[in-house]
Each structure stands twice: as structure tokens, then as C-alpha cells.
Amino acid sequence: MSHEDGARERIEAFVQGRVQGVGFRQFVAAEGEALRLAGTARNLPDGSVEVVAEGSRTALLALVAALRAGPPAAHVEKLRVRWTEARGRSRGFEIAR
């Protein structure tokens, strides 16, 4: 897998802490759109948020930094990120239900 800025990559991130009911998914979608990433953010039954995103490595690194910080009302306790090859997702960033 290439790590050049022109190559597309994918992250699968799981964010734990106070991340539901605080606008976290909306925050992630806005960040993803601003970074020109394609992906989704969704709440999981265990109280965490799953984020899947594709784009350039530079943009994905910026998203990971944003996930660590979260919006003002959130409190991120743990972030797990797995890097994989892009699967060709090309649409914008969505909040999954």
C-alpha cells in the first residue's frame, strides 16, 4: 500500500468515551467533508462511534487528529484506528443510522 498523498487509503476508527449524544457524528461528517474525504460515522450499541473514511493519507491523518479532540461536549477516552486499502468509496461523508 502506497502512502503518497495522491494514493487513496482507508481508515476504520472506533472512538470510545462520551461520544454519543454530543454531536460527535455531525462533527466527524463536517470534518470529513472539509477534508474532502468519503465515509460514514455511526453510533454503535456499546456507546462508541465507528468512523470509516477514504481519501489521501494527509487528509486521513488530519481526521484522526480531529477524532482525538472531538467536539467541545465530547470526551474521547480511547481511539483505535486501522489503516487498510481504499475500496473505492467516492461519495461524500454521511451520518449512518
Catalytic pick among 8, 25, 57, 68: 25
How far is the CA of 25 from the CAs of 4, 8, 32, in angstroms?
28, 22, 10
Pair 24, 42: CB distance under 8 Å: no
Catalytic pick among 43, 57, 87, 97: 43
Known active-site residue 25? yes
Known active-site residue 43? yes
Catalytic residues: 25, 43
